[in-house]
Structure 1
Amino acid sequence: MKPPHLFDKIDLQLIRTLHTLLTERSVSKTAMRLGQQQPAVSVALKRLRELTGDPILVRSGTGMVPTDVGLQMLGPVSQILQSAESLFSPARVFDPAHAGETFRIAASDTLDPLFLPSVVARIKSLAPGCRVEVHALSAQAQYAHDLGQGLIDVVIGNWAQPSEELHRAQLFEDDVVCLVSSQHPAVRRGWTQDDWLACEHIAPTPAYLGWRGVIDEHLDQRGWVRNISARCAHFGLMPRMVASSLLVLTTGRQYCQRFLQGPEALPGLTMLPCPVDFPKMVYYQLWHERSHASASARWLREQVKISAAQLPHPNPLSPS
């Protein structure tokens, strides 16, 4: 059994020198590869011989060859160096083509319907061995906690004032508009701010305890209250509800546009300017300090950013 203080005499540089000596079979070549002076490598070889009780390298003709003990050490030494490289590489190196991570994204379904499918498709194209989980923003979730515990990698949504405890990056901005039925009176005669407030509105079910949403937060600041007569936890169903009623859905133009044109289009819908002067909706991705330096997490956030930048821009509203 080796004495208990043996590890105090071994460091990673010594292991690296041993590996290079065994592969180069030369003190001078080892010194050149490691960028050291030859006497320093000779001193290291002496230390290794004392630790192992074996010469490790011996002369044979004009060169040197490993001893039997040296040859037996080559495999374990290579494994130690590979393990050390693996141990310290996650924050610096990420190879998507060969990675097998699971990426967990929490996102609001108020986003453009094309956005999250684009993110998932991009990840699976560039990192086919990785898994992707898309989590809904729910009333039970505590996202600062989940990000801090590594249960979620990134959260995507729109907040008037994102948490200062988390890192954030803006993805895109969107104008606030209204989606209504083509039969809504406002389509024919227009509407005022008071008309809009008095209309029957549909709004999302609160995503978490205390959640108001950017629309109602802005109204609260002005002391206004709209008439919310319907709520739904599934944002993607709201346009169809609007098409068959006099409900008003107030949200981003980017989202509404998808239900007026293209494969997601629904008959019987019209988009109107909102008579209330709302600031632009700003969508962010948020992440915790724990994953800020991780190469895989940085790669994930970059794919989210690229997918957001590639979203087609909605057409502006026609003059009413």
Structure 2
Amino acid sequence: MPDLNLLITLDVLLAEGSVARAAKRLRLSPSAMSRALARLRATTGDPLLVRAGRGLVPTPRALALREQVSQLVQGAQAVLRPAQALEMAHVVRTFTLRTSEEFVEGFGSALLARLAEDAPGVRLRFVSKTDKDTAQLREGRVDLDIGVVDPTASPEVLTQALFRDRLIGVVRSGHPLSQGEISAARFAEGRHLYVSRRGQDRGQIDDVLEAQGLKRQIGSIVASFSSAIALARNTDLIASVPERYTPDRRDLFCFALPVALPAFTVAMLWHPRLDADLAHRWLRGCLREVCGR
């Protein structure tokens, strides 16, 4: 296999027409450059540069190769040069985001508006997040995964926080809890909605209530917070949902939960192979901007 480094040497030799000047430009000794020229002659089967008086002149083969070699070297340098800028207005690409329905409802419109303005050729494909497995990121089936930070996430996955959130209580307007102080006991007495994508029927709230000698009754289990909010709006059931996911509070009464629960962080996750990708980096910036409003 030919040594492709010889292309750079040949390009400089043909441009300079001098072994000494080419050696200086490539920071080589004159003897090293002479050896390189000898290898080029052996590889191409042509003298390439021949002496004429005190200088060197190119052979017809060298003249024929000059432009082609220059283009090859410039192309290789462009491939290896770090990307500096990208005109998003000209990018045509589809990104797959794995997230919850609530995130799409809460932030999707603002994100799509930003794309329509600055990157009309970029399309977002939203797929449902049913677990915390990062295999789809690793396999390239998903470009960004959005959800609550998981301390056990694979260390090969990169993570950046988008916002902090907390659970709040939600009931219909006119619900008994909309009047008077809401104690842990009053809260536990009601019938509740529980959100679980895996069909579980208890969580952190139940653990905290149990520590106080209280127990709540789960009236229904749903797979999404948006379903819980819809049911709470039209029944006497109590929903506990993320505060940032409840922008539409018509016909709802929202309240701070009477139990101590830690806040949580919603973040985006991506595979390191996309970290330096300029279009992907731009999309991450859009998400940070939209979620930070």
Task: Say whether the fold is shared (TM-score over 0.5).
Answer: yes
2:191 corresponds to 1:172: no
Can you give the 5+ residue segments of structure 1 that lack an aligned partner in the other structure? 1-6, 261-265, 312-320
2:93 corresponds to 1:110: no
Distance 1:269 1:32, change over 3 A: farther
Distance 1:120 1:22, change over 3 A: farther
CA RMSD of aligned residues (A): 3.6
Counterpart among 135, 141, 163 of residue 153 in structure 2: 163
Q: For the residues of structure 2 that align with 1:132 and 1:31, how far apart are their CA atoms?
A: 52
Q: TM-score, normalised by structure 2?
A: 0.77
Give 1:149 shift: 0.8
Aligned to 2:8: 16
Counterpart among 180, 192, 213 of residue 189 in structure 1: 180
Equivalent residues of 2:163, 2:291 under 8 A apart? yes
2:244 corresponds to 1:259: no
Give 1:151 shift: 0.9
Give 1:285 shift: 1.7
Aligned to 1:218: 204
Q: For the residues of structure 2 that align with 1:80 and 1:211, how far apart are their CA atoms?
A: 61
2:127 corresponds to 1:135: yes
Q: For the residues of structure 1 that align with 2:187 and 2:288, how far apart are their CA atoms?
A: 35
Distance 1:47 1:120, change over 3 A: farther
Equivalent residues of 1:106, 1:156 under 8 A apart? yes
Give 1:278 shift: 1.4
> Number of aligned pairs?
285
Counterpart among 61, 66, 85 of residue 68 in structure 1: 61
Give 1:237 shift: 4.8
Matching of residues 1-320 of structure 1 within 5 Å: 7=1, 9-11=2-4, 13-23=5-15, 25-27=17-19, 30-31=22-23, 33-58=25-50, 64-65=57-58, 67-68=60-61, 70-72=63-65, 74-75=67-68, 78-79=71-72, 82=75, 85-86=78-79, 88=80, 92-93=82-83, 95-97=85-87, 99-111=91-103, 113-123=105-115, 125-138=117-130, 143-159=133-149, 161-165=151-155, 166-206=157-197, 209=198, 216-219=202-205, 221-222=207-208, 224=210, 226-233=216-223, 235-256=225-246, 258-260=247-249, 266=250, 268-292=251-275, 297-309=280-292, 311=293
Q: For the residues of structure 1 that align with 2:110 and 2:10, how far apart are their CA atoms?
A: 49
Q: For the residues of structure 1 that align with 2:116 and 2:59, how far apart are their CA atoms?
A: 47
Equivalent residues of 1:168, 1:284 under 8 A apart? yes
Aligned to 1:263: none
Q: For the residues of structure 2 that align with 1:73 and 1:219, how far apart are their CA atoms?
A: 75
Q: For the residues of structure 2 that align with 1:94 and 1:227, how far apart are their CA atoms?
A: 57
Equivalent residues of 1:198, 1:226 under 8 A apart? yes
Distance 1:304 1:52, change over 3 A: same
Distance 1:126 1:242, change over 3 A: same
Q: TM-score, normalised by structure 1?
A: 0.71
Equivalent residues of 2:193, 2:238 under 8 A apart? yes
Q: For the residues of structure 2 that align with 1:96 and 1:36, how far apart are their CA atoms?
A: 36
Q: For the residues of structure 1 that align with 2:200 and 2:29, how far apart are their CA atoms?
A: 65
- Secondary structure at the counterpart of residue 96 of structure 1: coil
Equivalent residues of 1:107, 1:135 under 8 A apart? yes
Equivalent residues of 2:160, 2:268 under 8 A apart? yes
* Paired residue type of 2:218: I
Give 1:93 shift: 2.7
Q: Percent identity?
A: 25
Q: For the residues of structure 2 that align with 1:238 and 1:217, how far apart are their CA atoms?
A: 15
Equivalent residues of 1:57, 1:70 under 8 A apart? no
Give 1:178 shift: 1.6
Give 1:177 shift: 1.3
Equivalent residues of 1:107, 1:156 under 8 A apart? yes
Give 1:181 shift: 1.1
